[in-house]
Amino acid sequence: DVEGVAAAGAAAAGVGGEAAQAATEGVDVKLSRSGNAADEEALQRYQYVHDDSEVDFALIVALLEYAYASEYEKGATLIFMSGWQDISNMIDELSRHDGFGDAARFKLLPLHSGIPTAKQKEIFKPVPRGVYKIIVSTNIAETSITVNDVAFVVDTGRVKEKSYDPHMKTSTMDTTWVTKAASTQRKGRAGRVRAGCCWHLFSLRRFESMREHVESELLRTSLEELCLQAKALGLTPGAAADPNGLRAFLGKAVDAPHEKAIDHGIAVLTDLGALADDGSERLTQLGVVLSDLVVHPRLGKMVLWAMVLNCAASALKVAAVCSYREPFVLPASQASLTLTLNPKP
């Protein structure tokens, strides 16, 4: 079970009663409602001077000082951040600290999908008695990874999430607040095999305004590839507005995408020549070929044109780079970063 932390204990760490909410025992997430006027005032003062869209690294350090000086059973700490920049800044902040920067007592471990697999596995390795791991991670540690010796969890409440704007017709990666379900999941990372504590670094009001769950990916991505495959499989032989068209087909989804997103997907395929431009939205011969390729239709057409222009090799390399994830590996330590930026001759 995850043990709750009283507002007085949070205040001892320099944290207002609501500024570092603690999940209490039981299945449901129950955030402490202090009702203490002094705590409410402290929270208001804190929010007045600090922008809650930015991570307060000093607050997290103060909270860790309180946690490791308290009577709680000691263990590893898992800190949730939104991305690599915040992870790197947090590691740097802890490295400069007199206590947490002591390698004989604390092992600072970043966790990010861009870090080499061998470095990621270090979070599972046991440490000598009296040494504690402080893991600074993205939401990769929410569900896919479990570290049994985690006693403390610090949840900043932030996550990077892909979104699609059907009006601007663009996909972006934005930092946003987690959902209530994700917050509950993060709490569950503590106390797997021992008593544990979780601090959520956002107010109760913020928690109550959060979404219940993450939106379906169908609502957060462009639809060109999906529309093309639906046409190629014969699932939508009619035009978009017909009962057997793309709008009707995608409208049957549990979380149906916005009509503007569907229209944009059809428009892109029509501009590429994958769909007929006579209003029937019939799949053309080019569309049949593009549907067989494992890349975005734009990249597929580029490769086909490159074959005609006798530069297929270069186009294939570009298509591969654009279709694959970030090819660069992040340095796992400041020393690695220094070596990367200043390689030896």
> Which string of DSSP letters, residue by residue, matches 37-100?
HHHHHHHHHHHHHS-TTS--HHHHHHHHHHHHHSSSPP-EEEEE-SSHHHHHHHHHHHHTSTTT
How much is the mean pLDDT over the chain? 81
Q: Where are the domains of the chain?
A: 2-209, 218-292, 298-345
What local confidence, expressed as pLDDT, does residue 334 receive?
52
Find the mean pLDDT for residues 276-281: 85
Find the mean pLDDT for residues 320-335: 66
Q: Which residue has the higher pLDDT, 297 or 195?
A: 297
Return the minimum-mean-pLDDT range out of 233-242, 257-266, 285-294: 233-242
The domain 2-209 belongs to what CATH superfamily? P-loop containing nucleotide triphosphate hydrolases (3.40.50.300)
Pull the structure tokens for residue 198. Answer: 């979780």
What local confidence, expressed as pLDDT, does residue 35 receive?
53
Pull the structure tokens for residue 234. Answer: 């014969």
Pull the structure tokens for residue 300. Answer: 């597929």
Q: Which residue has the higher pLDDT, 20 or 266?
A: 266
Q: Is residue 1 very low, low, confident or very high in pLDDT (cuts 50, 70, 90)?
A: very low
CA 32/CA 157 separation, integer angstroms: 17
**Residues in contact with 291: Cβ distance below 8 Å, sequence separation at least 6, in sequence order:** 228, 229, 231, 232, 274, 283
Q: Which of 194, 208, 213 is nearest to 21 (CA)?
A: 208
Pull the structure tokens for residue 293. Answer: 């390729």
Other residues' Cβ atoms within 10 Å of the Cβ of residue 52: 17
CA 46/CA 56 separation, integer angstroms: 11
User: Does 27 score more than 60 pLDDT?
Assistant: no
Find the mean pLDDT for residues 59-82: 92
Other residues' Cβ atoms within 10 Å of the Cβ of residue 61: 19
Q: Which residue has the higher pLDDT, 217 or 297?
A: 297
276 burial via Cβ count (<10 Å: 0-12, 13-18, 19+): middle
Q: Is residue 70 very low, low, confident or very high in pLDDT (cuts 50, 70, 90)?
A: confident
